[in-house]
A and B are shown apart, each in its own frame.
Chain A
Amino acid sequence: MRIECPHCGERDLREFTYRGHALALSRPSEGASAEEWDDFLHNRDNPAGATQDLWRHDPCGAWLVAERSTTTHQVRATRAVRGGEA
């Protein structure tokens, strides 16, 4: 599998570390309810099809969002977490 790092270009999967769904970008603000924290921390959908993953490109330290299909593993697009719209 190959993933496009916004800084380094298309690279082999083994240069990347996976970190779950991009929902982790939508951090509740201080004082949010327990339910909001629960959703943010624990609750994830398990779609058959399009999903958004967080990956880190280890050599350059960039975190990115990959639009990936869980059924084909195809990575449709990637964008940097920093500066990319959430």
Chain B
Amino acid sequence: MRVRGGHEIDRRTPIRFTFDGRVIEGFQGDTVASALMAAGVRLVGRSFKYHRPRGLVTAGSDEPNALVTTGQGAEQRPNTRATMQEIWPGLEVQSQNRWPSLSIDAMAVNDLVSPFLGAGFYYKTFMWPRSFWEKVYEPAIRRAAGLGALSGDSAADRSERAFAHCDLLVIGAGPTGLMAALTAARAGADVILADENTRPGGRLLSERIEVGDEPGAEWAARAAAELAAMPNVRILSRTTVTGAYDGGTFGALERVALHAAPGAAPPECFWRIAARRAVLAAGALERSIAFPSNDRPGILMAGAARSYLHRWGVTPGKRVAIFGNNSDIYRTAKDLSAAGVEIAFVADTRPGESGKGDWPVFQDARVVATRGRRGLSGIKLDHSGGTAQLRADALLVAGGWNPAVHLTCHMNGRPVWDEAIAAFVPAPGAVPGLIAAGAAAGRFSTAACLADGVRAAGEALEELGYSLRGRPDLPEAEDAPYDITPLWTVKAPGRAWLDLQNDVTTKDVRQAAQENMTSVEHMKRYTTQGMATDQGKGSNVQALAVLADATGRGIAATGTTTFRPPYVPVPIGAMGAGARGEGFAPRRLSPTHAACVARGAPMIEAGLWMRPSYFPRDGERDWRESCDREVGHVRHAAGVADVSTLGKIDVQGPDAGRFLDFVYANGMSGLAPGRVRYGLMLREDGHVMDDGTAARLGDAHFLVSTTTAAAAQVMAHMEFVQQAYLPDLDVAFSSVTDAWAQFAVAGPRARDLLDRVLDRPVSWDGWPFMSCGDVSVGGVPGRLFRISFSGELGYEIAVPARYGGALFEALVARAEDMGGGAYGMEAMNVLRLEKGFLTHAEMHGRVTAFDIGLQGMLSAKKDFIGKGAAARPGLLDATRERLVGLRAVEPEDRIVAGAHLFGETGSEGYVTSAGFSPTLGGFIGLGFLRNGPERYGERLILKDRLRRIEAKVDVVAPGPFDPEGGRMRG
């Protein structure tokens, strides 16, 4: 029912939205919850397990019942709190967990069989038979006990992430937070003030409280305006701080544009805030009292009812009853009565207490039963004078306040029981740099909150070395004592709910205790208390009290469960914003990327790089035909391949040779300038890390090449070796991978092809195998290396990256004139397999130099990384799985990587790489086999049971093509 007032709404702007297809009209500033309440809609959802009809309970992010789904398709958002979702024209809201409709829910039959569905039901019932769990029980349970569903459409990745730094993060903008922010901001500190509501003010917006000589809401607006005008303050509204992490890092979820139709603005933004200090001014959450049938629509928190009244000008009923154990009940009656609502009665659980008013007050009262199928209609009361049956359409419950201690527990801190307020308060210093203040610290009066905000900010600023100038004067405000006599449950027949979302009752908790689940953590898991999306914000402490009572311990001794981040659910789409698809990792493009794409080459991922798989030509039916042709270019004419992605590390300094001697297993300092050497790097544990070449460009200048995959790892490794072990060497190095474009030019006519682009021809004698030096290409200085990864006469030519595209085009065009052309990754792989050259398919981290037949490269003359460990006897055992070549026996048989090699004793090895060799006319491969090199000539069975492949293979020496290497050396 709409009444007067409401700080949040603009009555000149009506807004229409739909709830389960029904058009509802509210005002600009309404939440779905306040608009539904204004429209008299009481039934907003069904409970998780029993499908009980449920209504609004709170007015904030702690709402357990009113979870709804908004939008459709890619914009569909399940489990949205109706209390936090502001309405906008055209908003579509659907209720959840009901079928076929909210008012007629077939699954409500669960409620009738509820005696069988109590705590531990799943554990006890679905034990046997095991196969039934996956096929029968779980799908049925999932259908019956559900939250909202995802649409299945790929969500648009429109959310954002952001980073911020500040001196002081103030969490919550109620009286405490506003005073803390003012204190810090006036002292000149960088302040971020984060608050989960639309506007600052906190409880000042929800109560009739004067601050100084003006209404609290007006004071809050003025304070916020002053802060907003200061350059050192950022106010984050609609932003919930969700987690406290190491080193003063906080996560926060900002609802940037969820209050408007989807447009250009991101729906949400996930903030990572690095704060030197923080003040927790998150206030307190009101808790209920567990009385029989306390879950009917129309039964809600008294503080929430005051929020609905003062913030949105709505009330939950025309004739309301109030039940509670503290002084809030009288404040609630006064406020609602002033708004013209009839007060059915005030039921005070305390004996001998009675506030004044024009309504019946019952003392020592207990609500023992409620009536109303889909919404409250009547209440039965026991009280000091007997019993009473009364009519009411809403019951407002005030069970006391729990400080919002959650963030202080995110780093293992345990809150402390405070008997005076019958609640847990934060343990001081639980999160380094975070100071709890105001209601979050258990100080509930407005005057205490205002003062505590100044105190907390002052402490933080002092620690940061700020002088406290311009400290705000403390305005006058109410300082009423918080008078509570705790009452957790009403002992009367009937089910009394604790966790409304997960349908946990007091009986479930007592049963857990009876079955010896007396530890609070066991009780939680047995009953699922507090495990719903609201994480038991409104019910955990009551559940502890029930457990404490059932086990005969005090609440302090019973202890709490662990609060973990996030404080409210954070969509993965917001936390991982921007990190989907191509945003997941950077994409590195070679200078030839455009040229390769223009030639129709499918580009495939190689680490972060995109590389051409093959270059299709007209008439070729599949990749194999292209690959076979490209292999032929290299074997018979000249091929050109982009190898720019290989890692290149430029190493300079008088001690460069000595440094590389220590990094490589083989010697490098003896390499003559102008020469290139193959090198092997080990890890310190004696296994192969990477291979590549080192080219000595000058006395004190080397260029190290790495594989594409290991480039970053090798760079980090070299930095570690230098900084940790060889800090005194005069050497420096830098990655130059991106600075140079580099192309393999290979084939019998490779030299001929190079001569067509180089300014001076490549002399045969001047460029022997494994030589390097400077060249000039169209006036551009470049480098030439005579090295080969194909087994043919081969060169690699490098030019500054910006000339790469042009040189590639020139080389490919001339190669095509000569009957050759570009070749891609597939052909490169076949060429190296034919030669038995290795990649990281073989150097996969578990192999040693011994395993790949390169033990002889390990220098005996010097120490190097991995030397000690590589000498361990177990790594030199002949029975280890060692490198072999493989050839399919039958021409039609395939060899596939990942297949096992079966001999007489079963699997004796595996295949690492394979491909079709057009040169040899059959499938070839590389793999590892026990006693490998001793078994050339043996015939084994290859089996891939996943792909159902079986073939006979012969074990051969790796690299069956041109084993003497005459073609490569010339």
Nearest-neighbour CB distance to chain B for A65, whole angstroms, equals: 10
B725 in contact (CB, < 8 A) = yes
Q: Could you write out 19 A-B pairs with CB less than 8 Å apart? A: A1-B245, A2-B247, A2-B248, A2-B274, A12-B272, A24-B724, A27-B724, A29-B863, A37-B868, A37-B869, A41-B685, A58-B716, A62-B723, A72-B411, A72-B432, A81-B720, A81-B723, A82-B722, A83-B727
Residue of B nearest to A81 (CB): B723
Which chain A residues border B964 with CB–CB below 8 Å?
Answer: none
* A2 contacts across to B, CB distance below 8 A: 246-249, 274
Given the known A-B contacts A73-B246, A74-B432, A83-B727, are A30 and B720 also in contact in the complex, defined by CB atoms under 8 Å?
no
Asked whether A61 lies within 8 Å of B719 as measured between CB atoms, the reply is yes
Choice from A1, A19, A32, A56 contacting B246 with Cβ under 8 Å: A1
Neighbouring B residues of A30 by C-beta, 8 Å = 863, 867-868
- Distance (whole angstroms) from the CB of B846 to the closest CB of chain A: 15
Residue of A nearest to B867 (CB): A30
A50 at the interface (CB under 8 A from B): no
User: Contacting A28 at CB < 8 Å: which of B272, B685, B724, B868?
Assistant: B868
- Knowing A1-B249, A30-B863, A74-B432 are in contact, say whether A63-B723 is a contact too (CB < 8 A): yes
Instruction: List A residues at the B interface (Cβ < 8 Å).
Output: 1-3, 12-13, 17, 19, 24-25, 27-32, 34, 37, 40-41, 54, 56, 58, 61-63, 72-75, 80-83
Complex contact A80–B684 (CB within 8 A): no
Q: Chain B interface residue count: which class?
A: 20 to 34
Quick one: which of B231-262 are within 8 Å of A by CB?
A: 245-249
| Contact for B247 among A1, A29, A34, A37, CB less than 8 A | A1
Would you call B274 and A12 a contact (CB within 8 A)?
yes
Residues of B within 8 A of A41 (CB): 684-685, 869
Residues of A within 8 A of B723 (CB): 62-63, 80-82
Say yes or no: B274 contacts A17, CB within 8 Å.
no
8 Å CB contact of B719 from A31, A56, A72: A56
Contact residues in B for A63 (Cβ distance below 8 Å): 719-720, 723-724
Encoded as 1 (CB less than 8 Å from any A CB) or 0, chain B from 158 to 170 comes to 0000010000000
Q: Which residues does chain A contribute within 8 Å of B727, judged by CB atoms?
A: 82-83
* CB nearest to B864 among chain A residues: A30
Q: What chain A residues lie within 8 Å of B617 (beta carbons)?
A: none
- In the complex, A19→B248 CA distance in Å? 23
Closest to A22 in B: B724
- Report the bound CA distance from A63 to B715 in whole Å: 12
CB-CB < 8 A to A80: which residues of B? 723
- Which chain A residues border B684 with CB–CB below 8 Å? 24, 27, 40-41
**Assembly CA distance A1 to B246 (angstroms):** 4
* CB closest chain-A residue, reference B863: A30
The CA of A2 and the CA of B715, in the complex, are separated in Å by 24
**Which A residues touch B245, using CB under 8 A?**
1
Q: From B247, B249, B722, name the one whose CB has the most chain A CB atoms within 10 angstroms.
A: B247
B274 touches A56 (CB 8 A): no
User: Across the interface, which residues of B come within 8 angstroms of A31, CB to CB?
Assistant: 868
- B872 in the interface (beta carbon within 8 A): yes
Inter-chain contact B869/A75, CB cutoff 8 Å:
no
In the A-B complex, the 9 residue pairs with the closest CB atoms: A1-B246, A2-B247, A82-B723, A30-B863, A73-B246, A81-B723, A1-B247, A82-B727, A63-B723
* Complex contact A56–B716 (CB within 8 A): yes
Contacts of A74 in B (CB 8 A): 246, 432
B872 A34 Cβ-Cβ under 8 A: yes
B720, A19: Cβ atoms closer than 8 Å = yes
Q: Which single residue of chain B is at the shortest CB-CB distance from A73?
A: B246
Q: Which residue of B lies closest to A14 (CB)?
A: B272
Q: How far is the CB of A8 from chain B (nearest CB, A)?
A: 14
CB distance from A80 to the nearest CB of B (A): 7
Q: Which chain A residues lie closer than 8 Å to B867 at the CB level?
A: 30
Given contacts A12-B272, A30-B863, A72-B411, 12 further A-B contacts (CB under 8 A): A1-B249, A2-B249, A12-B274, A13-B246, A25-B724, A27-B724, A34-B872, A54-B720, A62-B719, A72-B432, A73-B411, A81-B720
In the bound assembly, the distance between CA atoms of A34 and B873 in angstroms comes to 10
Q: How far is the CB of A75 from chain B (nearest CB, A)?
A: 7
The distance from the CB of A55 to the nearest CB of chain B, in whole angstroms, is: 11
- With a cutoff of 8 Å between Cβ atoms, the chain B residues found around residue A3 in the complex are 247
B861-876 contact mask (Cβ, 8 Å, vs A): 1 or 0 = 0010001110010000
Q: Is B716 within 8 A of A81, CB to CB?
A: no
B724-750 interface code vs A (CB 8 A; 1 in, 0 out)? 110100000000000000000000000
Min CB gap A5→B, angstroms: 13
Q: Which chain B positions have C-beta within 8 A of A1?
A: 245-247, 249
User: Residues of A contacting B719 with CB < 8 Å?
Assistant: 56, 61-63
How many Å lie between the Cα of A17 and that of B411 in the bound state? 22
- From 210 to 227 in chain B, residues with beta carbon under 8 angstroms from any chain A beta carbon are none
